[in-house]
Amino acid sequence: MKHFLALTLCSLLILSCSTAKKAASSKSSQTASVKPQTPKKKPGKIKDYNKVITKDAKTDEGLFDVHLVGEKYYFEIPMDYLNTDMLLVTRFAKLPANLGGGYVNAGTKTNTRMINWERFKNKILIKEKSSSAIAADSLPINVSVRANNYEPTIYAFDIAAFSKDSSSVVIDVTNFYGSDVKAISGLPSFFRKQYKVRNLDKSRSFINDMKSYPKNIEVIQDFTYNASEPPVNTGDETISVQMNQSMILLPEEPMQPRYFDERVGWFTLSKYDYGSNELKADRKTFLRRWQLIPKDIEAYKRGELVEPVKPIVYYLDPATPMKFRTYMKEGIELWQKAFEAAGFKNAIIAKDPPSKEEDPEFSPEDIRYSVVRYVASTTRNATGPSVSDPRSGEIIESDIIWYHNHLRSYRNRYMLETGAANPSARTLNTPEDEIGEMMKMVIAHEVGHTLGLPHNMSASYAYDVESYRDGDFTQKNGIAATIMDYARYNYIAQPGDKNIRFVRQLGPYDDYAINYGYRYIPEATSADDEKEVLNSWIMEKAGDPKYKFGKQSSRFDPTAQTEDIGNNSIKASTYGLKNLKIVAKDLPIWTSDQTNNYDDLDELYSELLGVWSRYVGHVVTHIGGVVEDTKNPSQNGAVYNPVDKAYQKSAMQWLHKNAFETPDWLLDKRILQNINYAGYTERLRRLQGRHLNNLLNFERLGRLIDHKAMDAKNYSALDMLKDTRNGIWSETKSASNVSVYRRNLQRVYLDRMIYLMTEDLDPRRSRQYFNVNQSDVRALVRGELNQLKRTLTAAARAAVNTETKYHYRDCIERINNTLDPK
């Protein structure tokens, strides 16, 4: 029996090997693979080739020959390409305004799938392939991996004909590309639900064009849907989109992957290796990166800068305004210096879009081209997505999205964050060269994403706050150790500081990260061979804050915050608020006095409140904060360390002074009474309340309880609650009246404490790492409410102002209803 099972297993393995795929860069260089046998007599619907692909056929040769016969499209698939890995990418080519709320645009991907074309009897199937679970073909467990990760069939085609020499098979793809196939649809399920899509209207849907190239096929579809609530409601209940379907041949030999190390930020892909020697399915994570190989490896080994065999090339969108093209190209090619740190020269190149004469078939949707897409949209943003080989992480193509209105955000923040110290920012008409410099850096930031780099929110923490006031330092170092931080402007520099650089730029971390991801290691023949040298590069920089990576996803690490600069948030935000007070006073002079209307003043005042809120938020994070310093066990020190108690106490004092005491300077009648007729008190209540609620949340309390348990010297949850109460209710210590702004804030406090007393962690939004009901939280909150009740009872008797007296009595009743609802 054992002998029989072994023979069966060997048979399965032999069968698996016999169907191994063989693909190459062009059909002429294909090595013949095992071909399915064509029946001598074609049964059923299989016809002679000439009866399907008639003399009237219009043929486009390429990866698959594409035939148009009348109104039908056919693929002629070489047998050599069956069971070969390909990538199917779906993206919008044209779409209605406001689809997806403004963040979906021409060039946005909706689906990316790895597929195989496979034959089953007299059908050709498109099977979606996965590489997330792997085991070497030679291992017995490979059989189980395949059996337990069976791929779905996306579509099944009847074989229409075989070529005359039986080297290829013909299928009709008209219905596949002309109907609403969910796997490649332009409207995912959430859009269908949102816009109440009923169905695809086939009478108004069609295949627009289909072209074949040596390694890819591009299909353009026009789809019209019947929808009750379309994004643009003109009464016709219609959504029309134009989709581009790209199918690209993946390399026969996948790129050698490179292991991810969480000490260096990178976009990644992960696999579970069931063939690992570990006593589990071993999760392996690899970098997403372009494949760069030196043209002259020997010169590269000698330390010379060498051009890559295939550089990274970006084209500008033909829609890009001429005045911006130079800045965009410069922003792309700023990365050439970083690639020099990895041993490459001219590794990344920017090009203008080719003319019709130069390349009549150029299209931004064509997956052969990486393009900086210029989008006519009111959205203020830019993004840097990419398409990668799921087997190895090799980036194949990327499209940077630049939204037309994005520069307005940068102009506004330039004025608000630097206007106090920067005379050229005190205008709605920012000088073009300065706008161009901002655009260049935004493009460079997005290019960084397409090279594989995520945001690094610790990079600005590498520089001392006072350095931002030093002209020589800022001109050399910019405002963060990487362009990948959200550190856009130098808001610390003060009026009178000289030669200051206010705009971000690339830094030493960029060179470091690009070297880690792209330096070619000639002696390594596998990812495992690279591990030791990769670790040595990291250890060389360990302990230097310029090379630290801080996750964007962190909600607790004050050294890895978005939109902050400097290594001390209290000092940085103090400088920022000093500047913002100057800007607030002069804002009408710089806006409405110049334009003779209040539109820009209204817009900029709203954004000014957002700037104030950011500065405050940077300080809040220190309360209950934990500094994360990712390291290996061979490195000294703990990974997670609570923020020092004294610093937390200072942060709390700062918040009471700058956030919770009424910021009267924000309540300028010259502004408020010219932009709105009401809502002044509510606007400030929302702003202050946001930060008070953030301060008093379950997660923060849970961390403080943990910190006290680990070390009695740490700032505790009780410390924080007492300090908050004493500051918010400071008026109760005397007979002073309470302003409407403070009364509103005190009610926010009371509502939040009642919430902490009666509610629980929201599992949809929180890491539910402790049981609130069985923790100290309820006891601490109950004790604080009782203490506040006693204080309010005495304060209500002493209050002079009627509104204050009523307010205190109301608060007492709210506490009573919470602590003793009967």
| 680 and 768, same domain (yes or no) | yes
Domain boundary among 407, 432, 463: 407
- Indicate whether 484 belongs to any domain: no
The predicted structure's pLDDT at residue 7: 37
| 219 and 307, same domain (yes or no) | no
**Residue 769 banded pLDDT, cuts 50, 70, 90:** confident
Which residues 6+ apart lie within 8 Å of 553 measured at CB?
Answer: none
Write the DSSP string, 136-192: -TTSTHHHHHHHTSPPPEEEEEEEEEE-TTSSEEEEE-HHHHHS--GGG-SS-HHHH
| 244 and 301, same domain (yes or no) | no
Phi-psi region of 101 (alpha: psi -120 to 50; beta: other; left: phi over 0): left
The predicted structure's pLDDT at residue 822: 75
CB-based contacts of 265-270 (< 8 A; 24+ apart in sequence): 265/453, 265/454, 265/455, 265/456, 265/484, 265/513, 265/549, 265/551, 266/452, 266/453, 266/454, 266/513, 266/516, 266/517, 267/386, 267/449, 267/452, 267/453, 267/454, 268/393, 269/388, 269/390, 269/393, 270/132
Cα–Cα distance measured from residue 759 to residue 821, given in angstroms and rounded to the nearest whole number: 15
Residue with tokens 């630049």: 402
- Indicate whether 561 belongs to any domain: no
For the ranges 257-266, 279-288, 515-524, 610-619, the lowest mean pLDDT is seen at 279-288
- Indicate whether 756 belongs to any domain: yes
Average pLDDT (300-316) is 97
| 235 and 309, same domain (yes or no) | no
- Give the model confidence (pLDDT) of 592-634 as tens digits: 999 999 999 999 999 999 999 999 999 999 999 999 999 999 9
Answer whether 558's CB lies under 8 Å from 568's CB: no
**Residue 173 banded pLDDT, cuts 50, 70, 90:** very high
pLDDT at 148 over 90: no
pLDDT at 25 over 90: no
| 201 and 344, same domain (yes or no) | no
Cα–Cα distance measured from residue 327 to residue 336, given in angstroms and rounded to the nearest whole number: 15
- Indicate whether 318 belongs to any domain: yes
- Indicate whether 285 belongs to any domain: no
Helix (H) or strand (E) holding 619: helix 599-620
- Indicate whether 26 belongs to any domain: no
Domain boundary among 407, 439, 468: 407
The predicted structure's pLDDT at residue 765: 62
pLDDT at 32 over 50: no
pLDDT at 24 over 60: no
The predicted structure's pLDDT at residue 130: 87
**Residue 379 banded pLDDT, cuts 50, 70, 90:** confident
| 403 and 336, same domain (yes or no) | yes
- Give the model confidence (pLDDT) of 432-459 as tens digits: 999 999 999 999 999 999 999 999 999 9
| 695 and 625, same domain (yes or no) | yes
Average pLDDT (253-267) is 96
Number of domains, the chain? 3
| 64 and 194, same domain (yes or no) | yes
**Residue 763 banded pLDDT, cuts 50, 70, 90:** low
The predicted structure's pLDDT at residue 740: 97
- Indicate whether 33 belongs to any domain: no
- Give the model confidence (pLDDT) of 38-97 as tens digits: 444 444 579 999 999 999 999 999 999 999 999 999 999 999 999 999 999 999 999 998
**Residue 766 banded pLDDT, cuts 50, 70, 90:** low
Domain boundary among 377, 407, 437: 407
The predicted structure's pLDDT at residue 552: 83
Cα–Cα distance measured from residue 768 to residue 761, given in angstroms and rounded to the nearest whole number: 6
Whole-angstrom CA distances from 9 to 3, 71, 148, 351, 585 are 10, 48, 16, 54, 81
**Residue 485 banded pLDDT, cuts 50, 70, 90:** very high
| 227 and 138, same domain (yes or no) | yes
| 800 and 708, same domain (yes or no) | yes
- Indicate whether 415 belongs to any domain: no
- Percentage above 70 pLDDT, the chain: 94
Distance of CA 101 to the CA centre of its chain: 17
| 666 and 730, same domain (yes or no) | yes
| 700 and 780, same domain (yes or no) | yes
SS (H, E, C) 392-428: CCEEEEEEEEEECCHHHHHHHHHHHHHCCCCHHHCCC
Average pLDDT (266-284) is 85
Residues forming beta bridges with residue 126, ordered by sequence position: 117, 155
Distance of CA 239 to the CA centre of its chain: 28
Answer whether 200's CB lies under 8 Å from 212's CB: no
Average pLDDT (460-465) is 96
For the ranges 382-396, 442-456, 761-775, the lowest mean pLDDT is seen at 761-775
- Give the model confidence (pLDDT) of 336-361 as tens digits: 999 999 999 999 999 999 998 998 88
- Give the model confidence (pLDDT) of 60-76 as tens digits: 999 999 999 999 999 99
The predicted structure's pLDDT at residue 28: 38
Average predicted confidence (pLDDT) for the chain: 91
Residue 381, domain extent: 297-407
Answer whether 67's CB lies under 8 Å from 57's CB: yes
- Give the model confidence (pLDDT) of 116-144 as tens digits: 999 999 999 999 998 888 888 888 888 88
- The phi and psi torsions of 320 (rounded to 5 degrees) equal -70, 125
